[in-house]
Structure formats: C-alpha cells, structure tokens
Structure 1
Amino acid sequence: MRDILRKYRDTATTLVVLILPLFSMYFHGKVRDNSTVFERTLVALTAPAQRVAALIVGGIQDVWTEYINLVGLQAANEELRNENQILLGEALRAKKLKLENQRLKSLLGFRERYADLKTVPARVIAKDISPYYRVVKIVLDAGRSDAVSEGMPVVTHEGVVGRISRATGNFSEVMLAVDSRSNINVTIAGKGVSGVLRGVGDKNDFGGSFRFLHQSEPVEQNDTVVTSGHDKVFPAGLEVGYIASATVRQNGLYYEYDVNPAVNFSTLEEVLVIVEREREPDLENGGENSR
C-alpha cells in the first residue's frame, strides 16, 4: 500500500492542486443565501490556495506581458537605429555634395578670372603619403589623351599645386610645390622682392624656402608669395604661399624666408592643369590673385 501511495503521490498532489482551485472558484462564484457546513468548510480551506493560484497566474501574466513589451521595444529600437543610420548617411552625402559644389564653384571662378588660360580639369584619384602622414605626390585622372604633358603647371583656386612630373594616356603624376626638387620663380606681392621658392619636403618641414639676393622693402609675416612668371612655366600672379616668419636667414650670398604653402594638399580633390597660357598679369599690385 505504501508503495502504491509513494508511486502515485506526485500525481495525486498535482490533481489536488489543480482540482481544489476549481472547486473553490465554483463555490466562491455561487450566489446563495444558504450554504451547507461542507461548502463553507471547503471554501475556507480552498481560499488560501485560490489566492496563491491567482497570484501565480497573475505573476505569470505580468512576466509574459513584460516580455512581449520588451520584445516590441527592442524591435522598435532596432528600427530606430536603422533609420538613424540611413539619415546619418544621407546627411553625410549631402554635406559632401555641398562641399564639392563649393569647390567646383571656386574652380569655375578661377577659370573665369583667368579666361585666357586654357585649362583641363582633373580629379585627384590617388595620394602618396610619407611616413609622417604628409602628401608627397598626387595622381590625376587626366593624361596625354587630355593634352596633358610633363612640366605643365597644376593649380587650384587656392593657388599653385605643382607641375606635371609624368603623364601617360589617361593619368598623370604631380610634383608638389613643396617637393625638394621644385623651384618656382616668385615675388612678394606688392613689394619689389623677387627670388626663387624652393620646396622643403623633409621630415622636419613641409613648405618652402624663399631665396633672394636683394631686399628692397621689409618682408613681414603672412606676406603673400606669388608667381613672377619669369620661369615661363607658371603664369604671373598665382599664390604660392605666405611668409611663415619675419625672421630672415643668410645662406652665403642669399637671404631666406620660410614659406607656408597656399594649398592644403591633404584635402585636394579637384585641380586645373594649365595646358596653354597667353598673358602675364600686371604685378604692380601683386597680381590678380593676391590678397
């Protein structure tokens, strides 16, 4: 007998737990004026179990409801994140297009100011970066098929970029104005000081050195250095850079000033290659492109 009770104990307990609340709900739900002693006793005995069962069921319902809400909230958050990424991408594209439009307008303004210079527009498609994260050479998407050849000047609305060092069918490489091999005939805008701007592209400096023999007027910091046109390569009056410091150095017969380039080579996107020139601007006031 004990073996039988032990064997079916779990089953009997489960049935009691399930059936008692049903009886309780039945008797609690009856509306009667008179009830038997058995009914009152059963109600009294099953009331605690019913309350516990109600609490358990209510708790399960609350947990399930919270779970459903959490799943819905996570889905909504994921949707918002995706929408935010899309909007962010669109905003970045719009900003990029706006900046490109501004650059192209500036290049168009340059071409209008120098209408008698025949130029070929080109995009920068590659940049060689030094170990010190400085741009040392750029590659353009224009070459011999676009009438571009070695030695031609490369400019932007900011000023002189450099000159073509190598040209192939559809591409060309540019030696920058700050390259140590670069020499450009220049003058100080509005002052009678002319000389040569030599590139200084080493690990300690990234600019130019303005060398001259005679100084007729004092040179000041931020004075504009423009092309003189004497080298027959660059048209006169194009900005090359600005005097970095009023401190002058003497190197043999020459005097030197440090020069910061006018062009930010790291942000270059579009340039113009001058394939033909017909005039030399008047330098009486420092050229048409001086500040």
Structure 2
Amino acid sequence: MRNLFAFIYRYRAFLVFLILEAFSIYLLVQNNSYQNAAFYNSANTYVGKVLEMQSNVTDYFRLIPVNQALVRENAHLKEDLFRQRQLAEDTTFGRVDSVLVKPDSLNQPIPYKFIGAKVIKNSFRLRENYFTLNVGKKDGIRAGMGVVAPEGVAGRVKSVSANYSIVTSVLHSKALVSAKLKRDGTFGTVKWSPTDDELTASLDYVPLHVKVFKGDTVITSGYNSLFPEGIMIGRVISVKKESDKSFFTIKVRLAVPFTRLNFVYVIDNARQAERDSLENLVKGGEDE
C-alpha cells in the first residue's frame, strides 16, 4: 500500500492531467452532437472488433466438442447408409419382397455399428506403421475390428486397453485388405510396401485377362468380416503387364490421407465372432 501511495505522489501531476483530459473529452462529446456521433460510431466499431475476436476465441475452444458431435452424427449416418444398402441388396436378390417393404424397414438392425474415435498418435514413415485411438474396451472396442476414415479403409485394431486402442495401419508391411474393382467385381488384395510412399499401395492377384484401366475404383470386397462390402480403398494410377508374371502389376492411390489422419470410425460387426469361428472351424477341419 505504501508503494502505491508513493507511486501516486510521484506521478501526481501526470495523473491529474489524465483525469482532466478525460473529463474534457467527456464534456466535448456530451455537449457537441458531431463529436458525440463520431465517438459512438468509433466506439461501436472497436467494440464490434473486440466482440468478434472474443467470439472467434470461444469458437476455437469449442471445436473439440463440436467435432466429437459431428463424428457421432456421421457414425449414425454411416449406419443408415449401410442399412439402406443392405435393404437394396436384399430386395435385388429376392431376400425381401419389394412389395412388402414397409417404411420402418430402415429402422431394422444391421450387423455393423460405427464407433467414432480420434487419432491421438500416428506413424506413416516406418516399415510397420500404427496409430492410437482415444477409445478402448469401455467404448466397446475389441482387437480385430476394422477401422475406416471418412475417405475409406484405414486399418485394423491390434490391441486394446480400457481407454485406448492401437491400430495396425494400412501402411504396414504385413497388412492385407481384401478388395475388388468396383467396375467389374474382379477380386484382388491391396498391400502396402515399405518401398511405396504413404499414399500408394499395390493391388495384387488381378489376372491378365481382366481389363483394368487407370482411374478404376478399388473398394472392399466384403470377403472378410472386418469391413462391409463397398468401402473405398483407392483408385488405380498405373497398370503394367510384365512378361514374367501371371498377374498385373497395379498401383493404387489410397483414398485415406494418412499424413492428416484425424477422426476415424471403428466398425463393430455383431456377427464377426460367429463368422470367424465358423470359418476357422472349417479351415481347421481341412488342415486335419
């Protein structure tokens, strides 16, 4: 307190000048219409800029809950999309009589559920790349689930703790994705090689008699329980026919920008365990 009084006493003349100056400006503004209008217009301009800046700062700090809400909404939209696709396929192949389809058919359960998650760590320049999600067992995540980004296939859940998950990226030397050409349904396998960059992979096992064109769309085949059929993988960027090989050498530009991976969806297939156990049982019997 003593220092405050000492400061005021030391600068008393300057402080009195400021007070008198402010009082003079007040009298000038209050008693002259032109100065009054100019002052309030200027004040409104600066106040507006301050409020706009405050709003921008507030909106920035609200981005996290807004993004989380959008991810949840997109997950529901993806489920609706697959529900409609499944209904269309059932109708096409005679599993559902189109005359008997009711309006509430779209509310029927589908085996796939999409769980939104945020990528909190990601690698894409190694030989074996992984990324970490902020969801785990408490969110219903299990090892072996497929993971997709908004653009397409991203990876497969490798290990899970209570609150986090580690996902094997498509950019992994041992990752394989069952795929097909959307144009004619030819099946193949998408595999990334460490010699490729983070945007490119190979489409293997496409026979030479098949017509493959640059720009062809590559999607998931649905031949395993990880991913539903029809999820985007990428587009063909080059096709080579080599004399010493019985399959094309095809390069695919991956749809997912792994360098900017942010929000993803973990696919919970309610029928995955049943299908896997049955297929493993048959496979085990054949091995014997």
Match of 1:126 in 2: 120
- Partner amino acid, structure 1, of 2:181: I
Matched, 1:186 2:173: no
Taking structure 1 as reference, are residues 102 and 271 closer, same or farther at Cα in structure 2, changes over 3 Å only?
same
Deviations 1:224-248 (A, max 9, x none): 1111233443332222222123x32
Distance in 1 (alpha carbons) for counterparts of 2:186 and 2:56: 51
Match of 1:144 in 2: 137
Match of 2:79 in 1: 111
Equivalent residue runs for 1:9-48 within 5 Å:
none
Deviations 1:160-183 (A, max 9, x none): 221001111221011122322210
2:57 pairs with one of 81, 86, 89: 89
- Partner amino acid, structure 2, of 1:122: G
Deviations 1:26-50 (A, max 9, x none): xxxxxxxxxxxxxxxxxxxxxxxxx
- Unaligned segments of structure 1, at least 5 residues: 1-60, 281-291
Task: Give the CA deviation at 1:258.
Answer: 1.3
Deviations 1:107-161 (A, max 9, x none): 32211124522425132140224569xxx53222222233422221112443222
Instruction: Give the greater-gyration-radius structure (CA).
Output: 1
Match of 1:235 in 2: 228
Match of 1:248 in 2: 240
- Unaligned segments of structure 2, at least 5 residues: 1-20, 26-34, 36-41, 84-108, 276-288
Task: Give the CA deviation at 1:206.
Answer: 2.7
Q: Which moved more, 1:205-214 or 1:122-131?
A: 122-131
2:263 pairs with one of 269, 276, 279: 269
Contact 2:208 2:246 in 1 (8 A): no
Task: Give the CA deviation at 1:96.
Answer: 7.7
Distance in 2 (alpha carbons) for counterparts of 1:185 and 1:169: 30
Q: The residue matched to 1:244 in structure 2 has which SS?
A: strand
Aligned length: 214
The CA RMSD measured in Å over matched residues stands at: 4.1
Task: Give the CA deviation at 1:211.
Answer: 0.7
Distance in 2 (alpha carbons) for counterparts of 1:203 and 1:187: 20
Distance in 2 (alpha carbons) for counterparts of 1:194 and 1:211: 9
Structure 2 length-normalised TM: 0.58
Taking structure 1 as reference, are residues 143 and 99 closer, same or farther at Cα in structure 2, changes over 3 Å only?
closer
Distance in 2 (alpha carbons) for counterparts of 1:162 and 1:131: 15
Deviations 1:159-218 (A, max 9, x none): 222100111122101112232221011110131421110023557443311011414432
Deviations 1:77-98 (A, max 9, x none): 9756533421333555688877
Q: The residue matched to 2:143 in structure 1 has which SS?
A: coil
Taking structure 1 as reference, are residues 78 and 232 closer, same or farther at Cα in structure 2, changes over 3 Å only?
closer
Taking structure 1 as reference, are residues 214 and 272 closer, same or farther at Cα in structure 2, changes over 3 Å only?
same
Distance in 1 (alpha carbons) for counterparts of 2:200 and 2:161: 28
Task: Give the CA deviation at 1:103.
Answer: 4.9
Match of 1:206 in 2: 199
Taking structure 1 as reference, are residues 108 and 216 closer, same or farther at Cα in structure 2, changes over 3 Å only?
farther
Taking structure 1 as reference, are residues 98 and 274 closer, same or farther at Cα in structure 2, changes over 3 Å only?
same
Contact 2:124 2:198 in 1 (8 A): no
Equivalent residue runs for 1:162-177 within 5 Å:
162-177=155-170
Distance in 2 (alpha carbons) for counterparts of 1:161 and 1:217: 27
Taking structure 1 as reference, are residues 234 and 226 closer, same or farther at Cα in structure 2, changes over 3 Å only?
same
Match of 2:214 in 1: 221
Structure 1 length-normalised TM: 0.57
Contact 1:212 1:254 in 2 (8 A): yes
